[in-house]
Amino acid sequence: MTDLEKTQIQIGYIPLLDCVAILWAKQRGFFDEVGLDVSLVKEASWASLRDRLAFGFLDAAHCLSAMLPAAALGEDQLGIPLQTALVLSQNRAFISLSQKLCFDLNITTQDNMQESAQKIVTAILEQKPIQLAHVFKQSIHHYCLREWLALVDFDVAQNMKLVTLPPPYMVEALSNHVIDGFCVGEPWNTQGELFGVSQIVASSQDIMPKVADKVLAVTVDWALQHPNTHRALTQAIQKAQQELKYLDDYTEVWQMLMDFNIVQFQCSNTVHVQKFHSIQNIIRNFVDESPQPKLEDFKWLIQQMVKWDRLIIDETHIEQMSQNCILSFQA
């Protein structure tokens, strides 16, 4: 085995379904197999995770893909460059609205995403107070909400003020009438539905192209100082991804997600069966067979920043910044 520059590793994560490969690699001993002693660190918010990664308190992190070009642009107020060699999930967010709002606006399960957006936009234009939340400004969730509203009215989409909340607090905020809807990854949309407080009205897969959502991120400096460790870390998580894709029995995976307090509801092949198989299917298909980051993903993310944050960036600069977000291991 190639000498590792560092063996004791701290990986940060936010409790979402798409950190599952990191948790599974730890549970199955895949990190141990490559000589790494990994500690998993649950972070309270994407902002705290980003800051702790940038300033070296974490070695690597389950990270929003858009944080990487935001760092390159200095839009995160830190400007410490981040890179990734591994995609953890692709475009698996949903938009959920409170069941009360859906009832009041006659938004039904038969409505398509444009029809639901039309009813929300109409209410906004009638000055009804509607508060929507995303997980972070630089995220596909932010752009998904904007693009959804823009199906009906670009000006409303551009000017709508969005609340930022960590994913685990979305359902609670909805229950307490702090917000009226949110865009977030699973399992929080399913939890909202099973708790009887929210209704899924749109999927990001129908609104946006198939781009990276979460990635395994490190700082550029860390990657340069620890190339062998980084390669080993990535290999262990990729092994977990492959096993999760083809695993027959998800009992142990489900128990792990409950132990980490990511899944907080009863769901199995006998209880809420359709939801159980839907979540299992999401886990199987978080990434393609080759989960390497793609240049087009980061170009799209930067173009969204240009579109919605009114940034001015030369097309050649977009290409270079996108390339700088990706780390390719040399053979």
Cα(123)–Cα(142) distance, rounded to whole angstroms? 20
28-86 pLDDT tens trace? 999 999 999 999 999 999 999 999 999 999 999 999 999 999 988 876 666 789 999 99
CA 86 to chain centre: 14
Residue with structure tokens 């980061």? 298
Residue with structure tokens 């004791």? 8
Cα(247)–Cα(162) distance, rounded to whole angstroms? 39
| pTM for the predicted model, two decimal places | 0.94
**Residue 145, pLDDT above cutoff 60:** yes
Please calculate the CA angle 157-160-163 and round it to the nearest 5 degrees. Answer: 125
Instruction: Give alpha helix (H) positions in 36-136.
Output: 46-54, 67-73, 99-104, 113-125
Q: Are strands 132-134 and 60-64 parallel, antiparallel or unpaired?
A: unpaired
Cα(270)–Cα(281) distance, rounded to whole angstroms? 16
3-state secondary structure of 288: coil
Q: Are strands 212-219 and 60-64 parallel, antiparallel or unpaired?
A: antiparallel
Same fold, 8-90+211-324 and 93-207: yes
For the chain, the structural domain boundaries read 8-90+211-324, 93-207
Cβ 243 vs Cβ 24: under 8 Å: yes
Task: Kindly state the tokens that stand for 211.
Answer: 């781009």
User: Amino acid identity, residue 39?
Assistant: S
102-137 pLDDT tens trace? 999 999 999 999 999 999 999 999 999 999 999 999
**Of the CATH numbers 2.60.40.10, 3.40.50.2300, 3.40.190.10, 3.40.50.150, which one belongs to the domain with range 8-90+211-324?**
3.40.190.10
DSSP code of 133? E
227-275 pLDDT tens trace? 999 999 999 999 999 999 999 889 999 999 999 999 988 887 888 899 8
Residue 311 confidence (pLDDT): 81
CATH of domain 93-207: 3.40.190.10
